[in-house]
Structure 1
């Protein structure tokens, strides 16, 4: 006999149980996830998670599965971002991911959401098939990199006439011209701004007044949200000079660059030359609701 499950939207008082279920659901993941309660709260802020739009599945009044839902805009359309789907091991095999979406989608449509977005590790074929069954389609492949700071290769002469300065007012409109391809959801300017974690933006200037590069990162974790250099000033050491500054200002023992679009060859090659290690690849998937 199939176990009886109930579905409901979560409330603030569910967050402590949600944290425990999150850790238990991802303990045997392709890449096991460990996260403090503080880091969990930061994830909520950065990714725009709205508890009342998070779907939960319960068995005997215990939370056994969930979809964390972030709300925002993606490519000009109101979007629901899947910040994490998890099901406890004992309850897998019951189509709970699909059933959670069947429960969630009507509310998203009623709220004017036009599409759903997520990322999934390319090795997680079970999850990929579940999302495809819901109607998600792969839009691009994203690579994730990491390297201990001492292993990075950031040698070479400092680029001439380039100075690097910290800014308290990031010029996101200008930065958009420095990147060939847009960032993933959690690396957008909106996510960077929302994060309560300490954040730093450095700018590179040519001859003191021409902005030619920037990097936005989190010094506590070493996570690089965005890095870009104006096209005519590439391959002269600007990105390397920016990364050297990131290393010097980062408290964490390693740097991370997540969700780099695999069609952006110049960025992939830069991270590889700098001795970053590719740790995993993900598929970005999109479900259009209209």
Structure 2
């Protein structure tokens, strides 16, 4: 076996191995080429920092890594680990991390982070054995928005210039990797960003990607909550997408107000994940 980075790997070559690796996953899924390309772009996957295991020149396992610098920390994110079934149980995840960590140290990485589905106990134990620790639980919602919109004096219009300092003042929790500022800036042209205004003052906002029907962020000013603003924002999304199902992923479970609101909006917490981290 040979372990090396994936800088020369095409998305076409990766696709079949990716789908084989996740075909019997705890939540099985299958991506098209376009969906995998979108994931690589959206998650900021860097093939120079990603690593694969090869048998006779053929890829049999991989770790897809991304990196960013935020709040003074250099963070590397595992956007997907996959081993095809016949090569599991050989410690390949540890071997691939042993290979790539020196490279991550060279670029001054401080923290490794990843998400693992609750109930995937073998993966959780494997990551704990590598030094990762669970830092929080993240809830994933999906479904068709079903809200009774209130008649309130709020106007909804697109936000062209993102003032992140202002938007962050609405937050109760820190977003996970896929909904973080650095990642969203990378795909902002693919997103619809709506603001809720009262007397020309921004009171709430939502960031939505119509291509994948995903809400990345929704937040309301803490002094303007329970007034129908969040309902107005989600109702606008529902009208835009013609009543199709949407997803809202990785909601910190400590944000009880958000969970209650999403349940009331008709969405279901269909799966949960643990965010895990380790210092290097």
Same fold by TM-score greater than 0.5: yes
Cross-structure match for 1:277: 268
Q: 1:23 aligns with which of 16, 19, 30?
A: 19
1:1-290 to 2 correspondences below 5 Å: 5-148=1-144, 152-159=145-152, 161-195=153-187, 198-207=190-199, 209-250=200-241, 253-289=244-280
The worse-fitting range, judged by mean Cα deviation, of 198-207 and 188-197 is 188-197
Q: 1:129 to 1:252 in 2, by over 3 A?
A: farther
* Cα distance per residue 1:49-96 (max 9 Å; x no partner): 110111100112110000000011244311110000000001011111
| Paired residues of 2:149 and 2:232 also in contact (CA < 8 A) | no
Runs of 4+ off more than 4 Å = none
Instruction: Name the SS for the 1:101 alignment partner.
Output: helix
TM-score normalized by the length of structure 1? 0.93
Shift of 1:226: 0.2
Q: 1:180 to 1:47 in 2, by over 3 A?
A: same
Shift of 1:277: 0.6
Gaps of 5+ in 2: none
Shift of 1:41: 1.4
Shift of 1:287: 1.0
The worse-fitting range, judged by mean Cα deviation, of 264-273 and 71-80 is 71-80
Shift of 1:164: 0.7
- Whole-angstrom distance in 1 between the partners of 2:174 and 2:269: 20
Instruction: Name the SS for the 2:276 alignment partner.
Output: strand
- Whole-angstrom distance in 1 between the partners of 2:229 and 2:8: 45
Q: 1:90 to 1:117 in 2, by over 3 A?
A: same
How many residues align? The count is: 280
The worse-fitting range, judged by mean Cα deviation, of 70-79 and 24-33 is 70-79
Instruction: Name the SS for the 1:129 alignment partner.
Output: helix
TM-score normalized by the length of structure 2? 0.96
* Cα distance per residue 1:108-164 (max 9 Å; x no partner): 11221111010000111111111111100111000000003xxx33104222x2111
| Paired residues of 2:11 and 2:33 also in contact (CA < 8 A) | no
RMSD: 1.5
* Cα distance per residue 1:17-49 (max 9 Å; x no partner): 112111110111111122221221121111111
